[in-house]
Amino acid sequence: MANLKVEFSGLKLENPVMPAAGPPVKDFTAAKRAKAGGAGALVTKTISTTAAKVPRPNMARTESGFLNTELWAEQTPEHWLQEEYPKIKELGLPVIAGIGYTKDQIRKLARKVEKYADALELSTHYLGDDSTPMEESIKAAKEEVDIPVYVKLSPGIDIPQFSKAAEKAGADGIVLINSFGPTLDIDPETGKPLMGSEDGFGWLSGEAIFPLALRAVYQAANSVDIPVIGVGGIDSGLKAAKMFMVGASAVQVCTEAIVNGPRVYGKIVNELNKFLDEHGYESVNDIKGLTAKVVSEEAEYETVVPTVIEKNCTTCGLCITSCVYDAITLDDSKDYIVIDSEKCAGCGLCITRCNFGALKLE
């Protein structure tokens, strides 16, 4: 069994999978379920100086992913300080408390929350091109507390610029990404938006945004020297492994926990362990930052024809159907596919379409 323990900013986790701030950690009961489900730490739902008024409906599973108009906690900070934080702290896992959003709101909350948390996660919400509000929020929190301060970033910004600005402002770590949007989906029977917000718009999360999150984490991890926590579309141990490969120090899960319950944390942990064992890695840290070591600084233009691993081919035909160059055929005299090297453009799609490991690039 691989070693899944991680340590960053003084926090020690038995495994690197935790909830992201949101409905799966909306109170003590939810946090307790997350621990039972296998989480290695607890990130509490973001609170602000007032309780949120959340539109209804505010979550929907769609063909394109998951939409939400979720906001911060719907309970007051006083409620959290009296009822939720003390019991969550007693669960015995590292606690990262989510607070937001402006520098003044964060300043009012930070010190009050500190006694119940091992670190703070600041949500400064969706920013444009100006990193100043984020920087001011970080500085305000750092002036108030002695525990690590992380800041959560949105996808629609210059990731390297904001990451460097966060580090310079004193952040101890970066969490990214938030949901992506605004987006829109409707009920085809009525034409009515699925979200109950004033304009009907929502925010996209879940598996649809994973490539966006992976890119953002890769950029952040290669721009700063502080830890980066990856979040966005992680629903398997394989995706958690990919996050580590691009430089993450830990991962957070939200949408998958909403859709399939708190047991997903342990599921992802087990799948991550299996991946590491099968590939001969002794520790999750062995794959951290792997992508930066193998990526080429120059684009590849030479056509490389995939190799067919004959024993693995089931002749299912998926690669044939999706080959727009008509380069793949099935010879009746063989029980595996054949690739015409003259027609093959080396696009690589067939490799990702194959479910049986019958194609690879040398």
Tell me, yes or no, whether 219 and 327 share the same domain. no
Tell me, yes or no, whether 74 and 21 share the same domain. yes
Tell me, yes or no, whether 72 and 17 share the same domain. yes
Tell me, yes or no, whether 189 and 315 share the same domain. no
pLDDT above 70: residue 128 = yes
21 is a domain residue: yes
Considering its fold, how many domains does the chain have in total? 2
pTM above 0.75, yes or no: yes
Per-residue pLDDT band at 191 (split at 50, 70, 90): very high
Tell me, yes or no, whether 165 and 107 share the same domain. yes
pLDDT of residue 126: 64
Angstrom distance (rounded) from CA 212 to CA 179 = 10
1 is a domain residue: no
pLDDT above 80: residue 163 = yes
Tell me, yes or no, whether 176 and 312 share the same domain. no
Angstrom distance (rounded) from CA 221 to CA 159 = 10
142 is a domain residue: yes
Tell me, yes or no, whether 233 and 334 share the same domain. no
CATH number at residue 155: 3.20.20.70
Summarize pLDDT for 281-320 with one digit per residue, the tens: 999 999 999 999 998 777 788 899 999 999 999 999 999 9
State phi, psi for 174 to the nearest 5 degrees: -125, 140
Tell me, yes or no, whether 279 and 212 share the same domain. yes
Query: What tokens does 186 get?
Result: 């409707």
Please check whether residue 174 is in contact with residue 153, taking contact to mean a CB–CB distance below 8 angstroms: yes
pLDDT of residue 187: 94
Tell me, yes or no, whether 331 and 229 share the same domain. no
The reply to whether omega before 262 is within 30° of 0 (cis) is no
Residue ending a domain, among 294, 320, 349, is 294
State phi, psi for 119 to the nearest 5 degrees: -165, 160
Average pLDDT over residues 15-31: 97
Tell me, yes or no, whether 344 and 207 share the same domain. no
What is the per-residue DSSP string for 82-110?
IIIHHHHHTT-S-EEEEEESSHHHHHHHH
Radius of gyration, alpha carbons of the chain: 22
Tell me, yes or no, whether 288 and 321 share the same domain. no
CATH number at residue 335: 3.30.70.20
**Angstrom distances, CA of residue 150 to CA of 147, 163, 166, 250, 352:** 10, 11, 9, 13, 35
pLDDT of residue 362: 79
Tell me, yes or no, whether 278 and 350 share the same domain. no
318 is a domain residue: yes
pLDDT of residue 361: 84
98 is a domain residue: yes
- The boundaries of the domain holding residue 139 are 6-294
Q: What is the mean pLDDT of the chain?
A: 95
**Other Cβ atoms within 10 Å of 33 Cβ, number:** 18
Per-residue pLDDT band at 331 (split at 50, 70, 90): confident
Out of 123-132, 145-154, 199-208, pick the least confident. Answer: 123-132
302 is a domain residue: no
pLDDT above 70: residue 72 = yes
